[in-house]
Amino acid sequence: MISESAILNCFQHLVDLKKDDLVIVGSGDDAAVIKSQGKDLVHSIDISKVNSHFPEDSKPQDIAYRSIAVALSDLAAMGAYPAFISIGLTSNITDLKWYKQFTNGVEKILNEYQLKLVGGDITNGEISVCVNVFGYAYKNNILRSTAKVGDLIYVTGPLGEGRKGLEDWKNNQQSKYIKKFFNPKVDFNKSEYISKYANSCIDISDGLIKDLTRICKSSEVGAEIIYENIPITNDIDDLSCGDDYKLCYTCSPEFKDNEHISEDFCIGEIKSDTKIIIKKDNSPVNFKKHGWDSFE
């Protein structure tokens, strides 16, 4: 019979922390104690659920990696670097091997981003990973609510790669995109760079249109987008599919020739009229679906 303590043992090597600058009390007590960094804490929480956010037969290491990566993406969108995480895992798997593989995925991403796992909880039920991420601003936090009329709108990479990866995986078709879905990369270097210049930023997790709408609503502005300038992977539905985890930011045109801004994709401009217009062949396109919603 499996037990909570047997499962927790699988995680032990990840939290057997030497005393260090960050973690005063790690795993094994009622709570973790994290040393004061004297800096404002940036915190986000993200739930990834089986059959909503990843397929049921995903590899456990991919479930772990992906759930943590998509949570980290929120920190990048704030102009913040990650420092530590905690995980609330719900699982009904009774094979300890599954948990060992899950911890391999956790370990991989902890090493990749130099993060500490400071704590967690585990309970029995349909697989769901609740990831808490914690970090600190590189310079200033980049908010959703501070886009300015006249700002250029950028995306940091192609849309629809995750969507294509998931389709290829479902069709048993080998492709470079599968890794984009299961192991998305979060570009903290870019986040650090643009935190000096961008007026607003969001990560594209629920689809470009939906997420850009969030910036526009928060900032009380609108946007005009040129469809032909958007780097897509599949078709126009890439604008309303989730799973991209690229950044969408707005920035004054004076910075458009800056080294790391000029390499991004300028897709449009912030306007004062509070509508989002997407022009294809110079005519506005209508979208029935703006993006991903787990309840719809």
Asked whether position 3 contacts its own copies by CB under 8 A, the answer is: yes
Asked whether position 218 contacts its own copies by CB under 8 A, the answer is: yes
Best CA proximity match to 236, nearest among 287, 191, 283: 287
Best CA proximity match to 211, nearest among 80, 85, 73: 73
Nearer to its own copies, 71 or 230 (CB): 71
Nearer to its own copies, 54 or 227 (CB): 54
Q: Name the 3-class secondary structure at 172.
A: coil
| CB 186 within 8 Å of CB 198 | no
Tell me which of 9, 12, 123, 274 binds its own copies, using CB under 8 A.
123
- As a whole number of angstroms, the distance between CA 106 and CA 161 comes to 23
Nearer to its own copies, 7 or 278 (CB): 7
- As a whole number of angstroms, the distance between CA 194 and CA 138 comes to 10
Q: What is the residue whose two structure tokens read 């048993």? A: 172
Tell me which of 124, 189, 229, 262 binds its own copies, using CB under 8 A.
124
- Contacts of its own copies in 62-121 (CB under 8 A): 74-75, 77-78, 80, 86-88, 90, 94, 118-121
Best CA proximity match to 132, nearest among 145, 148, 121: 121
Both tokens of 98, joined, read: 């599954």
Best CA proximity match to 89, nearest among 115, 116, 125: 125
Q: Please report how close the Cβ of residue 36 comes to its own copies at its closest, in angstroms.
A: 5
Nearer to its own copies, 101 or 218 (CB): 218
Sketch the per residue contact string, 228 through 267, with its own copies: x for CB under 8 A, - otherwise: ----------------------------------------
Cβ neighbours of 208 (radius 10 Å): 29
Scanning 59-67, 103-111, 198-206, 256-264 for contacts with its own copies by CB under 8 A, the matching segment is 198-206
Pairing of strands 222-226, 283-284: unpaired
Nearer to its own copies, 173 or 294 (CB): 294
Q: Name the 3-class secondary structure at 25.
A: strand
Judged by the rule CB under 8 A, the positions of this chain that interact with its own copies are 1-5, 7, 24-25, 28-47, 49, 52-53, 74-75, 77-78, 80, 86-88, 90, 94, 118-126, 128, 130, 132-133, 137, 141, 143-145, 201-203, 218, 293-296
